[in-house]
Amino acid sequence: MSKKKVSQNLLIVESPTKAKTLSSYLGVGWVVLATKGHIKDLPPKEFGIDIHNNFEPTYQWLAGKKKLVDVIKKEVRLSSCVYIASDPDREGEIIAKHLFDEFVPFKKDIYRLRLKEISKQELETQIKLKSNVSQNEVDSQVARRLVDRIFGYKLSPVLWKNLKLASLSAGRVQSTVLHWIQLREKEILNFVAETYYQLKLKGKVLGEHIEILHQKPRLDFEGIEKILNSLGYANVDSKIRIPLVSIKEKIILKNPSLPFTTASLQETASRVLGFDSKKTMRVAQSLFEGKPIFGESKGLITYMRTDSTRVSASRRNRAIEFLKQNHSNLISEQFRVQKVKNKIQDAHEAILPVDVFLSPEKIQNKLSLDEFKLYKLIWDRFLSSLLKPEEIKETVFTFSKNGEKFFWKHEEVLNFGYKDFPNPKNLTKNPRPNYAIGDEFELESIVKEEKETTCPERYTEAKLIKQMEEKGIGRPSTYSATIETLKKRKYIVEIKKKIASTNLGKKVDEFLDLNFNSLIQDEFTKGLEEKLDFISTGNVQKLAVVSEFYNFLDSVLKQKRANVQVESDSKLIQQVNLSKLKNESESSRTSANFKIRKEENLCPKCKEGVLRSKFTKAGKTLFFCSNYPHCDYITYENQKK
């Protein structure tokens, strides 16, 4: 009996939606299947790492995935070539590696496709490349997973024992982000509003009414009186004239924003559309995977997990072609490129529309309302980035008498530039007055404007993600997940888009800050992220990074238990601050020499209790005394203490 003839090609992706889109591009003889995400992971309730065998991980099947892969294997047997097109990042690379290992025994040709957009042209290009799984990318992802597992499994039991709660966990990135949130809470708690004044004079020059501002932005009443005396002001009948001594002009160019990265997309979608990061990525995923457009399934945006603002020449030229047909007068002659700061994922492009000729309005009825809003945001941002800057002429007039200077600024928009896209604005000339040196300001009235220093604002989810990108903490695929984990652990709470630490989050952060400060600092977390990234370039070995981190963390734990200073030549240790890991007095120790912070901020009323805080449903902070009801002290944020 002859064997069944092998004639088909097999394409494997993660998402069923993506599978449907790609299947529409392929002809007879192709089978497209989806894994629905990862197929294996470290065990959820075991360490899963063999420390004594080069930190070898033990992966196990995720629920239902072995049966799914067994079905895929049947198609592998019938295929001449197998193409694995999981997402073009390190998460996708480990999925490809796990599939590759399962398929090797079948002795088939297996290739890796990295689709940065879902389009027929991109698919055909990637198939021709016949790429292989990148072991460096796999090692980088595995190392990150191992480091995170070691961090959690080493530190979480310490939290359980000392804070007496078995449900607590510590995460490498999440602990740093929690520390930012708690530091902001401390700033709010300790904030004392300061009152100050701005001195403004109302009057006229050559018959035209203007308002001039004193050069010092913050003044007290005594300072204002000295200034007025210097000007010769005695009462409302005083005839004060202040000569114009300087006129300075400058041209200000306000450039359009660069195309979106993952972080800037999430930040802008939150601010403009009111989307949280989870919703933004869910909608972006649907735009990436493909929508039925004019009888054909099309991916509408490029891959949405990136920290790059780079645009390929071919994609830029396509956009210029569109702009020449519709907005030729707005096209910039220079193309700005953001400097890359050790961002390994700069191999990706920015988040861009796949085809700029598919304008949002043209396909609006093919998209849901949320999809349309996000697609328009991405489309507008990309095309705007290629346009001329807004041009403004700013003129600063300086009036001075007896050493006291006052300023008046005038702005004239010369060219709206990119702000004329997509619809032109009616340009208002607003030419500056024809004042000359020596013209005098005639005082009519005085304004003493009372102001207060403002309390620091809590982070929004968008601001946290923006800071994660700027600080180099976490990576595009983990920004949203990090915040979701903190919410799930009940370390933070979000009310009216403002994020505050809960009492549980405060206890966890203060314990980590006192005992493991070096592990949650920006410099340490960023430095480790960079080492993990460099594994993907082949410049650093996975084992070196993981073992160095493990040894460092182990030494810190032993130091705390033994209460002695540990010396090490590790480069990793030299990069962090160990000043807060010195010996502590016996009176401040808890189990195994770990410290718990004593309560601070005594109640200003009874002087016995301590101030406690609660984030209310109205989005405010309520401060109250721990001796309640014996002490009824209560106050809200932004009030003087």
**Enzyme catalytic residues:** 303
351: which strand partners? 260
Residues 6 or more apart in contact with residue 334 via CB below 8 angstroms: none
For residues 372 and 364, the answer to whether their CB atoms sit within 8 Å is yes
C-alpha span between 418 and 391 (Å, rounded): 10
Q: Amino acid identity, residue 181?
A: I
Q: What angle do CA 524, 525, 526 make, to 5 degrees?
A: 95
Contact 40, 60 (CB under 8 A): yes
Helices 503-515, 135-163: crossing angle, 10 deg rounding: 100
Gap between the Cα atoms of 499 and 267, Å rounded: 14
Q: What is the 3-state secondary structure (H, E, C) of 350-376?
A: CECECCCCCCCCCCHHHCCHHHHHHHH
- Please state, in angstroms and rounded to a whole number, the distance separating the CA atoms of residues 306 and 288: 13
* DSSP letter string, 385-448: TTBPPEEEEEEEEEEEETTEEEEEEEEEEEE-GGGGSSS-------PPP---TT-EEEEEEEEE
Considering only CA atoms, give the Rg of the chain.
31
* φ, ψ (nearest 5 deg) of residue 602: -60, 145
- Going from the C-alpha of 345 to that of each of 132, 307, 341, 543, the distances in angstroms are 18, 6, 11, 21
Contact 467, 267 (CB under 8 A): no
Helix segments in 443-577, DSSP class H: 461-471, 479-488, 503-515, 517-520, 522-535, 542-562, 571-574
Nearest to 513 by CA among 574, 580, 590: 580
**Do 543 and 55 contact (CB within 8 A), yes or no?**
yes
Q: CB-side exposure of 52: number of CA atoms within 13 Å?
A: 0
Q: Are strands 56-57 and 404-415 parallel, antiparallel or unpaired?
A: unpaired
How far CA 250 is from CA of 132, 400, 433, in Å, comes to 55, 21, 16
DSSP symbols for 442-467: EEEEEEEEEEEPPPPPPBPHHHHHHH
State the angle between helix axes of 277-289 and 479-488 in degrees (0 to 180), rounded to the nearest 10. Answer: 140
Do 233 and 431 touch, CB atoms closer than 8 A?
A: no
